[in-house]
Amino acid sequence: MSSQRSYVPALQQVTQMNLNVQYVYPTAWMCTQTDCSMVRGSTLMYRDGNHLNILGSQYVGREILKQHPSLHAAKKLNEASPSKP
């Protein structure tokens, strides 16, 4: 967690300077004040020490959409747009 603390202020500054950028801190859903668990309930969430597995990614994605519902609307708009070659 300490390595993450070094870049968090820079990311927060970017969101303050760009109104269309939202800061998402996914470790809030995976960690306590003292540690981060690779398991949520009985489900393994990471494939290694730093990367979420598919179930972990799906969980974090759902939490992001709950916290930032405007992203869900943007996703639907993007899916409805025709693909560019």
For the record, the structure tokens of 19 come out as 């109104």
pLDDT at 85: 55
Strand partners, 52: 46
Residue showing tokens 């519902």? 69
Q: What is the pLDDT of residues 24-54, one digit of tens each?
A: 888 788 888 888 888 888 999 999 988 999 9
Specify whether the CB–CB gap between 62 and 52 falls below 8 A.
no
**Residue with the larger pLDDT of the pair 82 and 28:** 28
Residue 3: which pLDDT band, with cuts at 50, 70 and 90?
Answer: low
In percent, how much of the chain has pLDDT > 90? 22
pTM above 0.85, yes or no: no
